[in-house]
Amino acid sequence: MPDPCASPTPTSMTTPAPEPTPDPCAPPPNLDYEPPQPSVDIPLASPPATLCPFTVNDAGEPACSVVEPSKDDKKKGSKSKSQAPDSSSLFIDKDWVAEHARQVSRMLLGGMKVVGIYVWVGDSAFKNSIIMLGQTVKAIADAAPLLEIDLDERILIHISYSPRRWTCRNCSLASNITSSNLRPCDFKMGKVLNSLQTFKCIYNFDLRLPIYKNSSNVRTFTDALRHAISVHAKELNSAKAIIDGNLVVNDKPCASDDLHEVELLLPFMKDASAEGSQKEVTGVIAFSGSVCSFAYLNIKEPISQAVAQIKEDIILSLQSRLDIICDEADGDADPSDAETGEGSDGMTTKNPISQLSLHLLRKTCNLSLPRRVFVPWLADMLVCDYLQSSETIEVVKDHCKELLSMETKFESLTILKPEVEAPALMARSFWDVAAPLGSAPASSSSSNSSTLETQRGQTSGTTVKSANINVILAAFFLLLSVIIGFVLIAVKRS
């Protein structure tokens, strides 16, 4: 939970005039007062702009603090106390701030982005910390990139106590951060929360991607799934959209204020990734399931923007689930795991399934992926979180309080769980997946799950024998029909 003495109450930026809420542990702000602790927080934008304060770091200290000059430095100054410039500056835990931004961006739906930071501090400390603030903005941009927007700038909002005012600046994401990277800009505000258009899409997918024998970039389950998501992202970009039963053919704004249902239509048989000879392929990735996606749009924006936001939200949701699995695997990793030997089936007793080598795997295994849940936030907007199969709703509540400073009574909220079943991972041989005579059918894409299936390609003896028997039976019945035909002709002639 954020320290109330170290960070302000989050302030919505959707009102015509920014009136920041004072620190509850400090006296009311006036022109002569400057708070002892600053706050560096994340603004969310497009369509709404909301300020989300940071929490304390792992050491229990604020992620941002004012560094006062030492006593020795003060004694060296020859000027009087009234003439001495304020040399205080900011210390910011950039890694912690970037990680906070990364986790917040996971919770945002289509149309909402982390676009920068705001800092609540005096003018002197702000001016003395331009380099530090620029580096922090760049760290946030790297942790929470904007995929569909080619933007090399982020926003830095400065809220000052003395004098009491606020300014907005563009921060260029150049490699060398200097004071020239910050340029003043306009930040227009208005009441938009209650006028946003809401779009919802239940997207069913079913992917089949081959695993090549000499592939260098796909070695583990994680690599395979990340590759599958990147390939499908390219296909999804060319999908056509149907909104409320009508094919989207123009860029006009949407007139209705109701919830809009979106369907995505992928091009038929456009799967270049399935090319390759039988000798090169050692397995198949079968990734199928259903993703519930939301996007928010300003009433003045074209409807094509909503379609683009839905597509981006679907891909980001899949990537977020994968990142959660990887984070959990890294957190549970033990230094002694590197010395663990591999069994005959290619599996180890310590390494998580997501880190197993595909080319050495010879045994069926299962992996559960997180499911997406939705929590009411501002006005009628939602945010999301991801639950592992062993986690409860209490985890979601803790994340909302910690990352978004939500103080709402969760008992009165309805948490939406459209993805009921926890996604699962299953491994099968190449021919069991590719051939229609396989013993186990692939999971239906209409089920609310995401399934990843892969194994080293070895031809199933049972499948080959069944195919040979079918060929023999077909030849037998063909020969029998020819003999019966000759018999009938001979009977008629006699």
Q: In the prediction, which pLDDT does 361 show?
A: 64
Quickly state the pLDDT bin for 465 (edges 50, 70, 90). low
Indicate the average pLDDT of the chain: 73
Residue bearing the bigger pLDDT, 105 or 333 = 105
Cis peptide before 163 (omega within 30 of 0): yes
Q: Kindly report, residue by residue over 470-481, the tens digit of the pLDDT.
A: 788 888 888 999
Kindly state the average pLDDT of the residues 287-315.
91
Of 37-46, 202-211, 408-417, the poorest mean pLDDT is in 37-46
Percent of the chain surpassing pLDDT 90: 19
Please check whether residue 84 is in contact with residue 77, taking contact to mean a CB–CB distance below 8 angstroms. Answer: yes
**The pLDDT of residue 79 is above 70:** no
- Residue 158 dihedral angles phi and psi, to the nearest 5°: -110, 120
Query: Using CA atoms, how far apart are residues 392 and 379, in angstroms rounded to an integer?
Result: 25
Q: In the prediction, which pLDDT does 239 show?
A: 93
Please check whether residue 263 is in contact with residue 241, taking contact to mean a CB–CB distance below 8 angstroms. Answer: yes
Q: In the prediction, which pLDDT does 16 show?
A: 33
Q: In the prediction, which pLDDT does 349 show?
A: 46
Strand pairing report for 113-114 and 240-243: unpaired
Single out the residue of 122, 126, 125, 105 nearest to residue 114, CA to CA. Answer: 105
**The pLDDT of residue 335 is above 60:** no
Single out the residue of 443, 491, 437, 434 nearest to residue 469, CA to CA. Answer: 437
Q: In the prediction, which pLDDT does 200 show?
A: 95
Strand pairing report for 246-247 and 240-243: antiparallel
Percent of the chain surpassing pLDDT 70: 64
Distance between start and end Cα atoms, the chain: 100
Q: Would you identify the CATH topology of the domain 39-69+84-191?
A: Cytidine Deaminase; domain 2 (3.40.140)
**The pLDDT of residue 44 is above 70:** no
Please check whether residue 14 is in contact with residue 49, taking contact to mean a CB–CB distance below 8 angstroms. Answer: yes
Quickly state the pLDDT bin for 32 (edges 50, 70, 90). very low
Quickly state the pLDDT bin for 107 (edges 50, 70, 90). very high
Residue bearing the bigger pLDDT, 469 or 345 = 469
Kindly state the average pLDDT of the residues 16-41.
38
**The pLDDT of residue 243 is above 50:** yes
Q: Kindly report, residue by residue over 210-229, the tens digit of the pLDDT.
A: 777 776 666 777 888 888 88
Kindly state the average pLDDT of the residues 407-433.
62
Question: Can you give the C-alpha Rg of the chain in angstroms?
Answer: 29
**The pLDDT of residue 398 is above 80:** yes
Runs of H (alpha helix) within 405-460: 430-434
**The pLDDT of residue 190 is above 50:** yes
Residues contacting residue 155 through CB under 8 Å, at least 6 positions apart: 43, 45, 115, 116, 117, 168, 169, 170, 171, 185, 187
Host H or E run for residue 465: helix 461-493
Kindly state the average pLDDT of the residues 122-134.
89
Quickly state the pLDDT bin for 33 (edges 50, 70, 90). very low
Kindly state the average pLDDT of the residues 129-146.
90
**The pLDDT of residue 418 is above 60:** yes
Q: Kindly report, residue by residue over 116-125, the tens digit of the pLDDT.
A: 998 888 888 8
Q: In the prediction, which pLDDT does 242 show?
A: 94
Of 106-115, 194-203, 214-223, 425-434, the poorest mean pLDDT is in 425-434
Q: In the prediction, which pLDDT does 339 show?
A: 41
Residues contacting residue 174 through CB under 8 Å, at least 6 positions apart: 181
Query: Using CA atoms, how far apart are residues 241 and 425, in angstroms rounded to an integer?
Result: 29
**The pLDDT of residue 159 is above 70:** yes
Q: In the prediction, which pLDDT does 37 show?
A: 44
Q: In the prediction, which pLDDT does 382 show?
A: 93
Kindly state the average pLDDT of the residues 165-194.
83
Query: Using CA atoms, how far apart are residues 212 and 233, in angstroms rounded to an integer?
Result: 20
**The pLDDT of residue 104 is above 90:** yes
**The pLDDT of residue 178 is above 50:** yes
Query: Using CA atoms, how far apart are residues 204 and 190, in angstroms rounded to an integer?
Result: 37
Q: In the prediction, which pLDDT does 309 show?
A: 94
Host H or E run for residue 372: strand 371-376
Q: In the prediction, which pLDDT does 219 show?
A: 73
Host H or E run for residue 209: strand 197-212
Q: Where in the chain is the domain with CATH 3.40.140?
A: 39-69+84-191
